Amino acid sequence: MTYLFTGLFTLLIGYFIYFNGFLSSEVVNNPYNSRQDTFADRIIRGEIRSSDGEVLAETKTAEDGTEIRNYPYGNVFAHGVGYSTRGRTGIESLANFYLLTSNASFGEQITKEIREEKNIGDNVITTLNARLQQTAYEALGSRRGAVVVLEVETGRILAMVSKPDFDPNRINEDWDALNDEENSEKALYNRAFQGLYPPGSTFKMVTLLDYMRENPDYVNFHFQCGGQLTEGNYTISCYGKKVHGEENLQKAFAKSCNTAFSSIGLSLDEDTLKENCESLLFNRDLPLDLPYSKSSFSLKSGSTPAERMMTAIGQGETLVSPVHMAMLTSSIANDGIFMKPYVLERVESYTGDTVKVFHPAVSGRLMTLEEAGILEEYMKAVVTEGTGSRLADLGFPVAGKTGTAEYSSDKNKSHGWFTGYSVTGESDIAVTVIVEEAGSGSEYAVPIARAVFQTWGTLNEH
């Protein structure tokens, strides 16, 4: 009896210690914890820095004691770093607790307490690389869209750009305009994480994977492309009315042949396709710390041939976020293993002592090693002989897939996609680009990816 209760209480105290020691820092850091606000009365908010040492956010105290949060890069990191004066978003929200906790020396803290001065909060070093971010930001230019760059092996988020953007330094002045219902820009919206787009031909990676799983003899696939395919009263044509002729599976993929893939779509089992999509995290929660939108896949058994054909080439009802696309791509690059993307690298006291280090974490396996290998081979072919040929002369091999997603009945309006990765074996990166209302992916998205790969190449030379 006494033992029973002693056991219960021991467990209780044990759990309490475990909570305070291990779980609490994450709990406390929850943006809903309004207790964090009271910290600001005693602590000067720390800096947010890029992995290459650039200051992305800092607090400057004027002589009269008023504090101003300054973002030296202005619009470039707007969505990633976020803001902290009108509510909190981005890293400002994610790392709020760390920024408002001081790990300065005990003596210094006590001295400042006595003098009734504020202590200096810890600095947060992110995984974002200022050079890559700047490159992606400039390459996207005045277009709407998003770029996500992940480090394949670790899941570190190296860059995330979303446009239209805003200047976090002017968030208070611009607040009303940014939130104006009639403003179609929705600049506060982080398209890289929260934007949902039809995947277009990038979805052929998924269709291909499902086809291989359903047909072990996929190597024997061959198809005669006549430029269009009609089933019932629905016709799908290849992009630019091209006729690809005799094709095997790899060529159909590299040339992004709509006709071949919609015929594959007709042969697939809808339930298996849905299952495979869900195993690739469509309709699922993603392990992300920043707000994101769930990708959706809704094809089910009993759908019309037209729906099946469209779904197979990434039109249909399917929607995907750029960050999800980047995660899929980097899993292919990482032998099928899917790393949890993260943006906080470490926390340091303002004097540079390490407080906390964040480590890469495996989130699971999306496909087998063999499947990843075959996809890589096919995606390399996209660059060497297909729609991604603008990436062929970078000096290192790249694998990828382009996409052109029609989003309205006007066939001339489309979003351009590219998603791919470097294949050098050393700190490779996955790059996903979406350019809204532009045109084909190979024409508009690939050059942006190219600029990012180039910058990465020069960074790696040193």
Contacts to other proteins by CB under 8 A:
1-2, 5-6, 8-9, 11-13, 15-17, 19-20, 23-25, 27-28, 30, 32-36, 38, 110, 113-114, 116
Contacts of 188 by beta carbon, 8 Å cutoff, 6+ apart: 89, 166, 178, 179
DSSP 340: P
CB closer to other proteins, 26 vs 317: 26
1 vs 62, beta carbon nearer other proteins: 1
Return d(Cα 434, Cα 446) in angstroms, integer. Answer: 9
CB of 387 to other proteins, least distance (A): 41
CB of 263 to other proteins, least distance (A): 42
378: helix, coil or strand?
helix
Taking the complex as a whole, the smallest distance from the CB of residue 152 to other proteins amounts, in Å, to: 30
Closest alpha carbon to 203 in 103, 117, 127, 277: 277
Comparison of 24 and 235: residue with beta carbon closer to other proteins: 24
The token pair at 457 is: 């190449």
Can the peptide bond before residue 216 be classed as cis, meaning omega within 30 degrees of 0?
Answer: no
Query: Which of 281, 278, 325, 320 minimizes the C-alpha distance to 300?
Result: 278
- What is the smallest separation between the CB atom of 118 and other proteins, expressed in angstroms? 11
- Name the residue nearer to other proteins (CB basis): 25 or 454: 25
Residue 288 beta carbon to other proteins: minimum distance, rounded to whole angstroms: 14
Residue 394 tokens read as 């970078």
| CB closer to other proteins out of 103 and 126 | 103
Using an 8 Å Cβ cutoff, are 377 and 401 in contact?
Answer: no
In whole angstroms, the minimum distance from the beta carbon of 29 to other proteins comes to 9
Nearer to other proteins among residue 8 and residue 177 (C-beta): 8
Least distance between other proteins and beta carbon 112 (Å): 9
Torsions phi, psi for 143 (to 5 deg): -70, 155
276 in helix, strand or coil? helix
Strand arrangement, sheet containing 157-163: 157-163, 145-151, 429-435, 414-422, 398-406
Token duo for residue 88: 């909190």
- Min. distance of Cβ 38 from other proteins in angstroms? 6
Q: Which is nearer to other proteins, 33 or 283 (CB)?
A: 33
How far apart CA 75 and CA 171 sit, in angstroms, is 11
Angle between helices 369-385 and 204-214 (to 10 degrees): 130
Quote the crossing angle between the two packed helices 322-333 and 369-385, to the nearest 10°. 110
Instruction: Give the separation between CA 444 and CA 438, rounded to whole angstroms.
Output: 7
Quote the distance between the C-alpha of residue 251 and its chain's center: 28
What is the number of residues in the chain? Answer: 462
Element (H, E) at 207: helix 204-214
Q: Which is nearer to other proteins, 62 or 114 (CB)?
A: 114
Residue 356 vs 365, nearer CB to other proteins: 356
- From the CB of 30, what's the least distance to other proteins, in Å? 7
Dihedral angle of Cα 375, 377, 379, 383, to the nearest 10 degrees: 180
Taking the complex as a whole, how short is the minimal distance between the CB of residue 5 and other proteins, in angstroms? 5
What SS3 state is found at 414? Answer: strand
- In the three-class reduction of DSSP (H, G, I as helix; E, B as strand; rest coil), residue 119 is classed as strand
Instruction: Identify the CA nearest to 322 among candidates 169, 170, 435.
Output: 435
CB-nearer residue toward other proteins: 55 or 286: 286
Q: Give the nearest distance from C-beta 228 to other proteins in angstroms.
A: 47
**Which residue number, 52 or 117, has a Cβ lying nearer to other proteins?**
117
Question: Are the C-beta atoms of 155 and 340 separated by less than 8 Å?
Answer: yes
